[in-house]
Amino acid sequence: MKNWWIYKGSGPASKRLALLAENQPRWRTFDGVVDDGYVVPDLAEPRYARERERGAGYLVDAPDVDVVNTALLLRRPLLVTGEPGVGKSTLAFSIAADLGLGPVLRWAITSRSTLREGQYRYDAVRRLEDANLRELKRKAAEAMVTGVRQDKLGSRDGDRRESPDRPERQGTPRPDAIGNYLQLGPLGTAFLPTRRPRVLLIDEIDKGDIDLPGDLLTVLEDGEFEIPELSRMAAHEADVEVGTSDFDGHSVVSRGWIRCHAYPIVVLTSNGEREFPAPFLRRCIRLNIGRPDDEKLRSIVEQRIGPEAAAEAAAPGGLISTFIERRRSGEVATDQLLNAVQMRLAGAWTAPEDLASLADATLHRLTGPDAG
């Protein structure tokens, strides 16, 4: 543990986050006005129990902690590479749990992912349909009022006061307000101006379109982006409340721009399926997570399942040595080892002669000539 570490450092999370805020590069400062009405969900809430457990049980080597903290202090995205199953995605959950930064905002990339998808979604079609439906209801109500005798319903002024078309009460959101149809994506939510940074996981970015890393550059570099649908109406409606990626979350966007206050902790993962452009790599801090050795595998099993299960798995000829042997001719993931150990713990495949069958069922290679 080193005195400059924020992640996995000493002392309470609040003290380490204060240290992070104090050590901000002059060329990486951001001045978004904090929306104190936006409440970040508490990771201690019951709905996030699995996420807390996932992050708390993560084991990370000291050299990797050095790299993570370098990214935090420089306000740079962390590009994490390595074989499937080595814990690239789980690192983001570990950072959030260690620093108490709320639930991870996760953007799972596919071949169809676009920058706008990560920023926000605007349902213009639904807004138009709702407007048409309200107009139909208004006309139907007017027709009904016209057909009823005036001596029972009062004056026409009274009818208009009771009509569904009457103005909304002050403070009541208009049903046609654009904010009802616009929701921030995980990228957009991460860059909201908050006092403490959020953790954003951009998972498997190498699966995305070849232009996606380049499209991300401006947002990741400047810490801001524009929502044109809101900026066009800023002259007569400067502040618009929109939904966020958090559970039931809402925040106010001012004049159509989102600009961060505390730069988010951005973790991008890649399985190495393709190379990235140099301008993108130049703006990232790179971390490659290697294969865990037998000692780390034992520690992982002990952390996740328990010391007795770890001792049995680490015995000569046990599941850990079987796992390492199979890994020599193809990829196998750490969670496959955990599955095999769990089966033994459940009382299955416990006979010595069953070990090979258990390995075939749970430790099948993900790559190599006999993958599958």
pLDDT (0 to 100) of residue 366: 81
Percent of the chain with pLDDT over 70: 89
The yes-or-no verdict on residue 169 having pLDDT over 50 is no
The amino acid at residue 177 is: A
Using CB atoms within 10 Å of the CB of residue 321, give its burial: 0 to 12 exposed, 13 to 18 middle, 19+ buried: middle
Among 216, 252, 223, which Cα is nearest to 32's?
A: 223
Please tell me the distance from the alpha carbon of residue 341 to that of residue 309, in angstroms, as a whole number: 7
Among 131, 54, 133, 127, which Cα is nearest to 91's?
A: 54
The yes-or-no verdict on residue 86 having pLDDT over 50 is yes
Between β-strands 250-254 and 239-243, what pairing exists: parallel, antiparallel or unpaired? Answer: antiparallel
Q: Where are the alpha helices (DSSP H) in 100-208?
A: 115-119, 124-147, 150-153, 156-162, 186-190
- pLDDT winner (highest mean) among 38-47, 123-132, 138-147: 38-47
pLDDT (0 to 100) of residue 135: 67
The yes-or-no verdict on residue 263 having pLDDT over 80 is yes
The yes-or-no verdict on residue 173 having pLDDT over 70 is no
CB count within 10 Å of CB 68 equals 24
The yes-or-no verdict on residue 100 having pLDDT over 70 is yes
| Three-state DSSP state, 48 | helix
Residue 251: beta bridge partners? 242
The structure tokens 């970015």 sit at 205
Percent of the chain with pLDDT over 90: 71
pLDDT (0 to 100) of residue 128: 77
pLDDT (0 to 100) of residue 372: 61
Distance of CA 17 to the CA centre of its chain: 20
Q: Model confidence at 260, in pLDDT bands (50, 70, 90)? A: very high
Torsion of CA 268, 269, 272, 274, to 10 degrees: -40
pLDDT (0 to 100) of residue 34: 95
Convert the pLDDT of each residue in 288-319 to its tens digit.
Answer: 999 999 999 999 999 999 999 999 999 999 99
Please tell me the distance from the alpha carbon of residue 272 to that of residue 284, in angstroms, as a whole number: 15
More confident residue, 163 or 112: 112
Convert the pLDDT of each residue in 227-251 to its tens digit.
Answer: 999 999 998 899 999 999 998 899 9
Spans of all domains in the chain: 13-120+179-288, 124-176, 294-362
The amino acid at residue 31 is: D
On average, the pLDDT of the chain sits at 89
Q: Model confidence at 176, in pLDDT bands (50, 70, 90)? A: low
Convert the pLDDT of each residue in 8-28 to its tens digit.
Answer: 999 999 999 999 999 999 999
The yes-or-no verdict on residue 368 having pLDDT over 80 is no
- The residue-averaged pLDDT of 219-230 equals 96
The structure tokens 């000692």 sit at 295
The structure tokens 């107009």 sit at 135
Please tell me the distance from the alpha carbon of residue 328 to that of residue 365, in angstroms, as a whole number: 10
What H or E segment, with its residue span, contains residue 54?
A: helix 49-56
Question: pTM of this prediction?
Answer: 0.86
- The residue-averaged pLDDT of 67-94 equals 96
pLDDT (0 to 100) of residue 132: 72
Superfamily of domain 13-120+179-288: P-loop containing nucleotide triphosphate hydrolases (3.40.50.300)
Please tell me the distance from the alpha carbon of residue 24 to that of residue 260, in angstroms, as a whole number: 14
3-state helix, strand, coil in the chain (%, to 5): 45, 10, 40
